[in-house]
Amino acid sequence: MAKAQRICALLFRLIAFGATLAAAIVMATSHETGSLFGLSVEAKYTDTPSFKYFVIVNSIVTVYGFLVLFLPPQSLLWRLVVAMDVVFTMLLTSSISAALAIAQVGKNGNSHAGWFPTCGRVPKFCDQVTGALVAGFIAVIIYAILLLYAINNFLNPLLVQKT
């Protein structure tokens, strides 16, 4: 039973690693040039601090997720992993929230502030941002599940295996 749980947790960590890696790569490679009233306009993720934050957080969590994959099951560092999972789940949540807010303004604009929607002029950029946000949202969900699983194993003395 314990081996099946470890395999399941490893599978979830692999999925989370892939989702954060995909989110960082897709967002970092998003750029397109469009025209606005005859002027050439370039859209790229570095134009928005929220998108930069999203890429940075997903890159950090990708490295963390990769390192945790090689942690031995009997290591005492797993207690630290529970704390780090909390921190990185919060960071992922904040980065996806910030990026979603900017993406919503880019898609729908803001009539009160006089901001026009930009997705009609740079649809490839908006599609890439949407793909990165979907991958980031999947990563947040998987890390939340991993966090709940780790807390349950840490707090439930009946599941602790003696080695």
pLDDT in tens, the chain (163 residues): 578 878 888 999 999 999 999 999 999 999 887 776 777 878 888 889 999 999 999 999 999 999 999 988 788 888 888 899 999 999 999 999 999 999 998 888 877 777 787 888 888 999 999 999 999 999 999 999 999 988 887 777 555 555 4
Q: What is the pLDDT of residue 159?
A: 52
Global pTM value: 0.87
Would you state the pLDDT for residue 163? 46
The CA distance from 61 to 67, in Å, is 10
Cα end-to-end distance, the chain, whole Å? 15
Place of tokens 């939340």: 144
Give CA separation, 48 vs 36, 76, 152, in Å: 19, 40, 38
Pure H helices in the chain? 2-28, 49-69, 78-108, 123-155
Amino acid at 159: L
Domain range summary for the chain, segments of one domain joined by +: 1-161
Q: Are 122 and 32 in contact (CB under 8 A)?
A: yes
Backbone angles phi, psi at 148, to 5 degrees: -65, -40
Please answer whether residues 16 and 65 qualify as being in contact, where contact means their C-beta atoms are separated by less than 8 angstroms.
yes
